[in-house]
Structure 1
Amino acid sequence: MNSPVLTIAGKEFRDRLRNRWVVAVTLVFAAFAFTISYFGAATQGSVGVQGTEATIQSLVSLVIYLVPLIALILGFDTVVGERERGSLDLLLALPVSRIQLLLGKYLGLASTLAVATILGFGAAGGLILTQLPASAWFHYVGFMLSTLLLGLVFLSVAVAISVMAQDRAQASGMAIFVWFLFVLVYDLLLLGLLVMSGGDIAGPAFPYLMLLNPADVFRILNIFGPDDLRLMFGLTSLFPPALASPWVLGAVMLGWVSTPLLLAIWRFRQ
């Protein structure tokens, strides 16, 4: 007998399949991955796949803008939308707890995002890596997993927003604010802080400030060496190697996934 969580997750996933969410997002990921990978070096006067590092660095810039936005759109009305449609009370009248309901919905949305990410970037990667050595798959698979983690972070944030918002309009406004904050504004604030302090702030606390932005953690996870570090994103050149371990950064991303979700569960139970 299926658990209530899996039953709700399956229903949420099937609903997304019926309204073509999975297909649409998969095609978007695949199309952008093909385009960025093949034409990413056009400004340097060349086209085609340029190697694992260049390919992934080009895709990282795309992912940071696109994946958080899609995850926020996917999850911002998870709860508040049900409340506005009047179906939330009906769901809560079923023999399921609030925690089971919220976890089921989150797992269903996470499955949608996972399938779209793996199929979209995997299809592009399959063709891209035919022109690269087999060892390139290791880095590309790591890139896909970190992309999925980034999406799950913002999906958790979206679910927390959906629980706390009073209506869909407020939820959408909060989601847009979160996207601007983490994708566009946060690093500008750090740079401003660095410049205003004359570099004094670039001490032991500075790397930990970067860990407060999952987009920065994602960037660092997909950087291959010190030269790439400085060329791709200047702030990460201040990041100590001890914190740059994939295991450490992966644990930070998992913390980012779980914290907003736990907050959503706590608020939904009130």
Structure 2
Amino acid sequence: MTGPLLTLAAKELRERLRNRWVLAVALVFTVFSLLISYFGAAQQGVVGPRSLALTVSSLVSLVIYLVPMIALLLGFDAIVGERERGSLELLLAHPLSGAELLLGKYLGLAAALTLSTLSGFALVGALLMQQFGVEALWHYGGFVLSSTGLGLAFLSLALLLSVLTRERTRASGLAIVLWFVFVLVFDLALLGTLVASGGALAGDAVAWLLLANPADVFRILNLFSLEQAEGLFGLGALMPPAFASPLWMGLALLGWIVAPLAAALWRFKPS
């Protein structure tokens, strides 16, 4: 099984490298992350990263908006696009099962997304190491790793959309809706419900509901990894103590990667 799967994954990665998709996304990450890291405090009359916690918390906001959008745009037509072009049957004419096709597509796209993310944040990592020492790379490395995980989670969701839809235009529309729901609407709706209930829905209930959004899992994971950011955002009063564990939040993010991909494998019908 691994032979055809890896061959297809390598083909997907080569295509993204050939059309300079990886380079373009890496440049976007580099430019925005440098601007936020170096000029984020310019309004206070200072330039350059003044605090590791504040720099990472600012980059968290960038990642939550940018990475899910890039992942959804990358993967929404992975299957439905092949189906519309009539090349899906051609691919399956090779000694390739449906599961191998889907996993090969995912692995290739995931490799491209991971490569662009790591490349895009590398320069900021060097800047932070120069400013705060090698120890800063421990926290920053965790942030970059979780950013990659967030991208893979939304890539899994994009692949699921691509499997469930029969038209590329519908898949693209649903991908945009998904981005709006998880990145913009979810927290507003939760806050509105909390206010409307007069605080009846509070404490652990709200905290557990946040696990239903991979973007919030990513946010909690990174803000709890730095005590300064935890105090800055006042999350300590809202989150259960178990949420302070990077292990549990990392497992929650892993669940968001595995579950949609497993659902896509279950629902994928090549014909």
TM range (shorter): over 0.9
Note if contact 1:220-1:236 (Cα within 8 Å) is conserved in structure 2: no
- State the AA in 2 paired with 1:229: E
- Shift of the 235–51 alpha-carbon distance from structure 1 to 2, 3 Å rule, reads closer
Q: Which runs of 5+ in 1 are unaligned?
A: none
Q: Alignment identity in percent?
A: 58
1: CA distance, partners of 2:2 / 2:59:
38
2: CA distance, partners of 1:119 / 1:61:
19
Deviation at 1:227, TM superposition (A): 5.7
- Structure-2 residue corresponding to 1:261: 261
- Structure-2 residue corresponding to 1:129: 129
1: CA distance, partners of 2:51 / 2:122:
16
Deviation at 1:198, TM superposition (A): 1.1
Mean Cα deviation higher: 128-137 or 57-66: 128-137
- Shift of the 101–40 alpha-carbon distance from structure 1 to 2, 3 Å rule, reads same
Q: Secondary structure at the match of 1:47?
A: coil
1: CA distance, partners of 2:111 / 2:179:
21
Note if contact 2:204-2:238 (Cα within 8 Å) is conserved in structure 1: no
- Shift of the 114–167 alpha-carbon distance from structure 1 to 2, 3 Å rule, reads same
- Structure-2 residue corresponding to 1:219: 219
Deviation at 1:235, TM superposition (A): 6.2
- Structure-1 residue corresponding to 2:6: 6
Deviation at 1:242, TM superposition (A): 1.3
Counting matched residue pairs gives: 269
Deviation at 1:217, TM superposition (A): 0.8
Q: Secondary structure at the match of 2:204?
A: coil
1:106-128 CA distance string (max 9 Å, x none): 00000001111111101221133
Q: TM-score, normalised by structure 2?
A: 0.95
Deviation at 1:225, TM superposition (A): 5.2
- Structure-2 residue corresponding to 1:51: 51
- Aligned alpha-carbon RMSD (Å): 1.7
- Shift of the 17–227 alpha-carbon distance from structure 1 to 2, 3 Å rule, reads closer
Q: TM-score, normalised by structure 1?
A: 0.95
Deviation at 1:236, TM superposition (A): 6.8
Q: Secondary structure at the match of 1:17?
A: helix
- Structure-2 residue corresponding to 1:229: 230
